[in-house]
Chain A
Amino acid sequence: MKIKEGFTLRTMCGEHIVVGEGLSQVNFNKIISLNESAAWLWEQVQGKEFTEDTLSELLQQKYDVSASQAFVDAIKLMAQWKEQGVAE
């Protein structure tokens, strides 16, 4: 999976959000709110190919979380990004 071209992570009003910018996302009218760990993962994988394993390993390095919990969280997050249209 990869984060699509044209999305920018910003901290606005004290929250992490993703907005569509640039010509490729000019019709993306939503803003997407990310929690602290999702925002950190976004920064780590932006511009790169990644899998459930990539995110799961990153989560385990950064947070005190079991391998199985990290894997579940990674799958959920990827499903969410796909559904929101920010990754493919």
Chain B
Amino acid sequence: MTYRVAGFPFTVKADETLLKRMENLKPFEEAAGPDVQLFDLEQVEAVDTPEGEPLFCTQDGPEFPEIAIWALPEGHLFRMRPLPGRPVAVELKVNEDFTKACMQLRGTDDVFALNNTLMLLYAFSSARKGALEMHSSVVMHDGKGYLFLGKSGTGKSTHSRLWLQNIPDTELLNDDNPVLRLMPDGSARVFGTPWSGKTPCYKAQDVPVGAIVRIEQAPENAIRRLSPLEAYASVMASASAFRPFKELSDGWHRTLEAVAALVPCYTLRCLPDDAAAILCHKTVHG
């Protein structure tokens, strides 16, 4: 099956009953075409077990998936657990430039495993093409997209909801993992994706980026425009990390720099109240 996310097509060859259950991917399905694929992913019976200690293992905390990475002569192997200490959900073998991958699903939640595999592959393989997989909640208003950034639990989704309730003509585009792209014409656009956290919001739509706003909890509402360097740091902190892979990072930093120069970025220190959304809208919509 072929899917197109943020303009880039990719192909998944996997168990048909599993693909039928992937409701989130359906809006992104398309007929196989002649375009060069971002990547091809194939489900296989077995992936060779890696030898020795991994190069690296994520340590994001007890509530986050754990990914261990091994270097192979011809690429990398990723082993993902839904949470640290839990059984392995998927093993993924990827070639050097992240364009070909095979996965062995080993756990009980194949939908979870396939989605996480796709998000990981997408982030890596699109890095050199001016795309950033963001950790963000995004609303569309008056033809533009407004991205809200922040650490887990700071209130990105809450702030989106406050826009929906208080600002007319507002719609949710994605609640957790949109893709931000620098387009060939030099503009920045934000795209809905099949990955939206706990909110089922899978929209194959895109709009120009209006602004990027970092949310911080505070006892009162205040918004401030960021300098280009602050904007760069803010966007970097919320873009999916490629930092284990030095070979991808030059293009990634150039994309971040261009986005920081192009898009107005702000920090909103706020309460989870209506006034925060009204202040934010008034400032960034301009």
Chain A interface (Cβ < 8 Å from any Cβ of B): 8, 10, 12-15, 17, 19-23, 25-27, 29, 31, 33
Contacts and interface: CB of A to CB of B under 8 A. Distances in A.
Contacts of B69: 23
B236 interface: yes
B52 to A, nearest CB: 15
Contacts of B253: 10, 12, 19
B278 interface: no
B244 A13 contact: no
Given A10-B253, A12-B253, A22 B232 contact: no
Interface string B249-263: 100010011001100
Contacts of B256: 12
**Range, interface on chain B:** 20 to 34
B229 A33 contact: yes
B182 interface: no
A19 B242 CA distance: 12
A23 B69 CA distance: 10
B246 A13 contact: no
Nearest to B59: A27
A25 B243 contact: yes
B55 A12 contact: no
